[in-house]
């Protein structure tokens, strides 16, 4: 893997499992060839992440006024927080990249429908505020492939090269299908989690959410299509073992690891792309 979101710099009183985020980052940056990314909800989190040495920041900005961890603020205030983080990284770590993930872009468990115009407008405002790219997140697993195609087409038309990643959840079994729909619209960066364990599951602001699309299934889909990912799928599947050992009793998902690779499936020589 060339880029991993290794931690979230969020208040430990809300998510105590993230209290050692700085320690995780300091270890991760010792791994050669890896872009180390961390999620930050605000300027304080960004400051801590930058001090720990991250290479990239990702900030969730909710299109739903009912959902965001910053839900006490109105949308203009959220954009100003993005601007403050952008100015901070320019001042102390100009080389660090910054992305904004427009969360609940496809719907919200608290608000319901989220107007697509609001989503695109917010993404454009984040770019204007100084982020390098802005992607779309199906935080609660409401999206369907037709919706994903439509919204990413609009995003790319609005932002051009600044249009960012697809962050899809598998809450209703459509995570992989939605990634393929985003690929069809030109998206080339995808958030996924080993064993489906990452994402917003357990987040107090996302009731009922499951993990992201399963990395193993996503890599297999692309490799089976002839799309080279640069990821060795055999080693990727093998990485489930230490994950399961470290999280005993935690459910681990993924169809490809359970079924095995198809007979005759041979992955071409792994090369970074």
> Do 172 and 140 touch, CB atoms closer than 8 A?
no
Q: Which residues contact 42 (CB under 8 A, 6 or more apart)?
A: 70, 81, 85
Q: How many CA atoms lie within 13 A of 113 on its CB side?
A: 4
What count of other Cβ atoms lies within 10 Å of the Cβ of residue 224? 14
Alpha carbon distance 227, 143 (integer Å): 24
Helix axis angle, 43-52 relative to 75-92, nearest 10°? 20
Of 65, 62, 146, residue with least CA distance to 104: 62
The Cα–Cα gap between 269 and 271 comes to 6
179 belongs to the catalytic site: no
H helix runs in 29-74, sequence order? 43-52
Rounded to 5 degrees, what angle do the CA atoms 52, 194, 16 make?
45
Strands (E), the chain: 3-8, 35-39, 56-62, 97-103, 133-138, 163-168, 190-191
Residue whose C-alpha is closest to residue 236's, from 195, 266, 205, 181: 195
CB atoms within 10 A of CB 128: 11
Q: Which residues are catalytic?
A: 203
């Amino acid at each position: 893997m060339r880029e991993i979101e290794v931690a979230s710099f969020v208040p430990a009183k809300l998510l105590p499992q993230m209290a050692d985020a700085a320690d995780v980052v300091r270890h991760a940056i010792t791994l050669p060839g890896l872009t180390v990314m961390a999620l930050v909800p605000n300027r304080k989190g960004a400051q801590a992440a930058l001090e720990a040495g991250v290479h990239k920041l990702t900030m969730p900005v909710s299109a739903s006024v009912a959902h965001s961890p910053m839900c006490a603020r109105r949308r203009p205030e959220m954009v100003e927080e993005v601007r403050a983080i952008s100015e901070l990284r320019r001042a102390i770590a100009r080389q660090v990249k910054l992305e904004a993930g427009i969360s609940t872009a496809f719907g919200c468990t608290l608000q319901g429908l989220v107007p697509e115009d609001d989503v695109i407008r917010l993404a454009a405002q984040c770019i204007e505020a100084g982020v390098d790219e802005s992607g779309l997140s199906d935080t609660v697993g409401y999206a369907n492939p037709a919706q994903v195609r439509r919204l990413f087409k609009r995003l790319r038309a609005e932002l051009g090269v600044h249009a960012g990643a697809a962050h899809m959840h598998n809450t209703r079994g459509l995570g992989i299908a939605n990634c393929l729909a985003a690929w069809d619209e030109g998206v080339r960066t995808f958030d996924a989690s080993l064993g489906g364990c990452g994402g917003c599951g357990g987040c107090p602001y996302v009731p009922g959410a499951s993990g992201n699309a399963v990395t193993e299934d996503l890599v297999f889909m692309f490799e089976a299509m002839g799309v080279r990912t640069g990821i060795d799928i055999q080693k990727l599947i093998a990485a489930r073992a230490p994950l399961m050992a470290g999280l005993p009793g935690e459910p681990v998902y993924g169809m490809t690891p359970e079924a095995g690779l198809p007979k005759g499936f041979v992955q071409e020589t792994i090369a970074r792309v």
